[in-house]
Structure 1
Amino acid sequence: MTLKEHLRKNILLATPVVIGQLGHIMVSVADSVMVGRLGVIPLAAATFAGTIYHILMLFGIGVSYAITPKVAATDTKDHGRLLRFLQDGFFMNLSLGLILFLLGYIASHFLHFFGQEVPVAKAAGPYLIIMCGSLIPLMIFQTFRQYAEGLSDTFSPMIVSVFANLLNVFFNYMLIYGKLGAPALGLNGAGIATLMARVIMFAVMIWWVRKKIQGFEWRYTWSGIRELLRIGLPSGMQYVFEVGAFATAAIMVGWIGAEALAAHNIALNLAAISYMAATGLAAASTIRIGNQMGLRDRRNLRIAGFSSFGLVAIFMGCCGTVFILLRNVLPALYIENDVVQTTAASLLVIAAAFQISDGIQAVGLGVLRGLTDVKVPTIVTFVAYWLIAIPIGYWFAFHGGYGVQGMWYGLSLGLTISGILHIWRFNRLSKKIQFQ
């Protein structure tokens, strides 16, 4: 295949995945935009709870990604092996969803220890419990989504995600503001809306995929679950280290004040849109690399990987340009507060600067996952964010006099280092890989 053909296949495969990934983050975007109309405290509470919730959610999604490369590298005629990955993945994700909900429930009772303003911590607790409850149907949905994507069916999960996102906005309108006869539940209404939409989402996905699957049984094998966890747990930890760093940054920003935290939330919410699109490209690159691993084709494996890096760099560069051009417009969609809007606009300029780095490190994790290389990238992620980004960001913010902008400088450095190291490792491994 030529480079042009690889780029075309990447785009065709990635587009539905990107839209599906955006479905996850648009839930938070819709919540933030609609909750922001209630004031600074509800928006700050949504931000604070969201930092914890997103760590749990992305860890779960990262673990579920183990299903995709296994399915992608399996001969489609080997129905029994494919079915085993689906069944084992279902019970793994269901169990993980219950565990994540329990962790979120426990965390909700200790929010006052994080140094946030009392009204913010008080409002965040119930919202966090509801949002973590929505992780159970989300993880079940992820099972069937990752299985379908491993078979290169990226269209079905996209349709379901878009449908659920539209439902979430509708339920938000009803439950946040008390419209169409529903009670006005404010911030908690946003959480309930997300839970309702995700229950419908997983039910539709199960119905859709099971129509195409013959022989599915409600059983699992421990050996199969361990095989998935061998890839899934490190993949989940990669997201924990990265998103956890941003969550820790949000907690530190909360020490500055509610307005700084609200501005951080707006800029991060917008940056998360492009990031989740990049993770969609990363998921597609995992499928492409997994396919070439199954075909034992080193040449096309390398082209598929490097074309994915190029594609995400172009896309994220365009996103950065949008952030700069609309830096004074986008924050106004969230809240009517001049201080918050001005601070958020300055953060969007920094976000624009690290867009390409963020995209490359995301795709780097995807192509390496396709090679089933997950341990070293996990170490790289930990070092880049926790030993470099957070300490430097803290120093700039609280000792260098840069405030919330200083924290973002540190995060930008961590993303850049991570992206460079992932490209280097893919180049090295793809040259040396031995097909058995």
Structure 2
Amino acid sequence: MNLKQYTKEFSYNFRLAYPIILGMVGHTLIGIVDNIMVGKLGSTELAAVSLGNSMIFIAMSLGIGFSTAITPIVAEGDAEKNDTKIRSAFHHGLFLCTILGVVLFTLIMFAKPIMELLDQPADVIALAKPYLGWVAFSLIPLIMYQGYKQFADGLSFTKYSMYAMVMANVLHVGMNYVLIYGIWFFPKMGIIGAALGTVISRIFLVMFMHIMLSRRNDLKRFFKNFSFDEIKSTTIKKIINIGFPSAMQMLFEVVLFTASIWLCGNIGKTSQAANQVALSLSSLTFMFAMGLSVTSMIRVSNQRGLGDFKKLVVVARSIFLLAIILETIFALLFIAFHSFLPHIFLNMENTGQILDNTEVVSIASKLLLIAAVFQISDGIQVVVLGALRGLQDVKIPMYITFTAYWVIGFPISYYLGEYTEWKAQGVWIGLLAGLTFAAVFLYLRFHYLTKKLINNSFSNT
């Protein structure tokens, strides 16, 4: 097989992926805007928002991971021209996403006392609790939005989530500004204002998405005559069977990276700050791989629906190759600018902080060299995971990701971070080991399954 048959798929892959990438950057921007605006109020307020969002982030990963079950079923139905399958996946998926949003909100409200056990200052916890309650409520519209988004993605209409996210972000900045600082006749609400800004923007996010999709003439048939009588236990079971392992896969990775924050915090505040700098940069570049992962899921599902398994392999490998090229470019940029990039996050002119900041830059620049390598592993594992979801193969990948992150990655991170001179670098070497193991074994799983599908299709002809 020559390289040209892979590269000719690049332009279509990227056209499908770029709106998803921009939408995901929009997701991260909501948190960044909160941090920037709240940071002006004081360090206690910023710590409270950070503490609250760490719990939200874990719940959000479950909701987003679960909702990905809708896309492969819709994409397969789209390729088969099967409207019944598409409508069923959309209605059942949205129904389950709404229930999951309510469940996650309820769980976080009951989990609030956990903050007392995290050894955080009392004034931080006092501010974080009411903030967490409101932002937890915003999970309901957010997970509902995911139901709409995954439906649209499955039909290859990837631009709508980007449009909705841009509109929600503009609204979010405006609402935050007036509610946090008390502009015009609005009361000055501090971090509660930030939380309400997030709630309002996420309610409008799902409304924007509903209006845009339901007004398309070619989609109106999927929005008409919804009835609870249509909800069938067999379809619910099918979505849960794909959604639950997908949610677990995302949870295993998110909790590993959350554990890295905790481990670096144990080492010291400069290590924690350096970890945050390196994590912010690598998270931004990871959004490109995440966009390609959804593209992989859509296109593999389409080819599965068409029953063209040879083309499926070509399409999937073209996306894997595109991810490797993009992540290698980011890796080279990280290597070239590893000493410069940490300065963006720090005020080096603050003489009172000069010693701490110099140490943060020194640690962060070394972490970026490790991040350069794990960019590639992280990119490969997430796009292959997308292809496996497209094949509706989720249980074995769930076991692979658990082994990679918690049997291999975390123990290495813990040992090297706590018991060797590597410290924060050791924590990141553990992350690299886990991601690399996941990338290799997920690809082997994909290769095994597609080879089997191709052989079976030959034997049936």
Calculate the TM-score normalised by the size of structure 2: 0.87
* CA positional deviation for 1:188: 3.5
**Partner Cα separation in structure 1 for residue 165 and residue 400 of structure 2:** 31
**1:265 and 2:276 aligned:** yes
- Corresponding residue number in structure 2 for 1:429: 449
**Partner Cα separation in structure 2 for residue 305 and residue 392 of structure 1:** 31
Q: Which has the greater radius of gyration?
A: 2
- Corresponding residue number in structure 1 for 2:204: 200
**1:164 and 2:168 aligned:** yes
- Corresponding residue number in structure 2 for 1:69: 72
**1:13 and 2:16 aligned:** yes
1:38-61 per-position Cα deviation (integer Å, ceiling 9, x unaligned): 444444433333332111101111
Where in structure 2 are the equivalents of 1:262-341 lying within 5 Å? 262-324=273-335, 325=337, 326-332=340-346, 338=354, 339=356
- Corresponding residue number in structure 2 for 1:365: 385
1:146-178 per-position Cα deviation (integer Å, ceiling 9, x unaligned): 111111111111111122122223333333344
**Partner Cα separation in structure 2 for residue 321 and residue 166 of structure 1:** 33
Where in structure 2 are the equivalents of 1:104-253 lying within 5 Å? 104-211=108-215, 212-214=219-221, 215-219=224-228, 220-253=231-264
AA aligned opposite 2:343: V
**Partner Cα separation in structure 2 for residue 182 and residue 66 of structure 1:** 41
- Corresponding residue number in structure 2 for 1:412: 432
**Partner Cα separation in structure 1 for residue 287 and residue 35 of structure 2:** 16
Say whether the 8 Å CA contact 2:77–2:83 is kept in structure 1: no
**Partner Cα separation in structure 2 for residue 117 and residue 411 of structure 1:** 29
Say whether the 8 Å CA contact 2:256–2:405 is kept in structure 1: yes
1:330-365 per-position Cα deviation (integer Å, ceiling 9, x unaligned): 313899755355254543343233111111111111
**Partner Cα separation in structure 2 for residue 34 and residue 349 of structure 1:** 31
AA aligned opposite 1:24: H
1:273-322 per-position Cα deviation (integer Å, ceiling 9, x unaligned): 22233211101100000011011112211111111111112222233344
What secondary structure is seen at the aligned counterpart in 1 of 2:245?
A: helix
* CA positional deviation for 1:259: 5.3
| CA RMSD after TM alignment | 2.5
* CA positional deviation for 1:209: 1.4
Match of 1:403 among 415, 423, 426: 423
AA aligned opposite 1:205: M
**Partner Cα separation in structure 2 for residue 185 and residue 262 of structure 1:** 28
**Partner Cα separation in structure 2 for residue 201 and residue 335 of structure 1:** 40
**Partner Cα separation in structure 1 for residue 71 and residue 348 of structure 2:** 36
AA aligned opposite 2:341: R
**Partner Cα separation in structure 1 for residue 263 and residue 436 of structure 2:** 21
What secondary structure is seen at the aligned counterpart in 2 of 1:373?
A: coil
**Partner Cα separation in structure 1 for residue 257 and residue 82 of structure 2:** 42
- The alignment covers a number of residue pairs equal to 436
**Partner Cα separation in structure 2 for residue 44 and residue 23 of structure 1:** 22
Please list every run of 5 or more consecutive structure 2 residues that lacks an aligned counterpart in the other structure: none
Match of 1:376 among 396, 420, 427: 396
**Partner Cα separation in structure 1 for residue 48 and residue 274 of structure 2:** 13
**Partner Cα separation in structure 2 for residue 192 and residue 312 of structure 1:** 37
Match of 2:98 among 94, 100, 113: 94
Say whether the 8 Å CA contact 1:100–1:135 is kept in structure 2: yes
Say whether the 8 Å CA contact 2:17–2:295 is kept in structure 1: yes
* CA positional deviation for 1:271: 2.2
Distance 1:371 1:314, change over 3 A: same
Say whether the 8 Å CA contact 2:56–2:136 is kept in structure 1: yes
Distance 1:349 1:187, change over 3 A: farther
**Partner Cα separation in structure 2 for residue 86 and residue 69 of structure 1:** 11
**Partner Cα separation in structure 2 for residue 207 and residue 262 of structure 1:** 42
**Partner Cα separation in structure 1 for residue 64 and residue 349 of structure 2:** 30
Higher relative contact order (Cα pairs below 8 Å, separated by 6+ residues) = 1
- Corresponding residue number in structure 2 for 1:78: 82
Identity of aligned residues (%): 37
What secondary structure is seen at the aligned counterpart in 2 of 1:329?
A: helix
**Partner Cα separation in structure 2 for residue 120 and residue 12 of structure 1:** 44
* CA positional deviation for 1:263: 4.1
Distance 1:175 1:267, change over 3 A: farther
Query: Once structures 1 and 2 are overlaid, which stretch shifts more, 348-357 or 119-128?
Result: 119-128
AA aligned opposite 2:236: I
Distance 1:129 1:320, change over 3 A: farther
Distance 1:275 1:120, change over 3 A: farther
**Partner Cα separation in structure 2 for residue 267 and residue 187 of structure 1:** 26
Query: Once structures 1 and 2 are overlaid, which stretch shifts more, 359-368 or 337-346?
Result: 337-346
AA aligned opposite 2:304: M
Calculate the TM-score normalised by the size of structure 1: 0.92
- Corresponding residue number in structure 2 for 1:353: 373
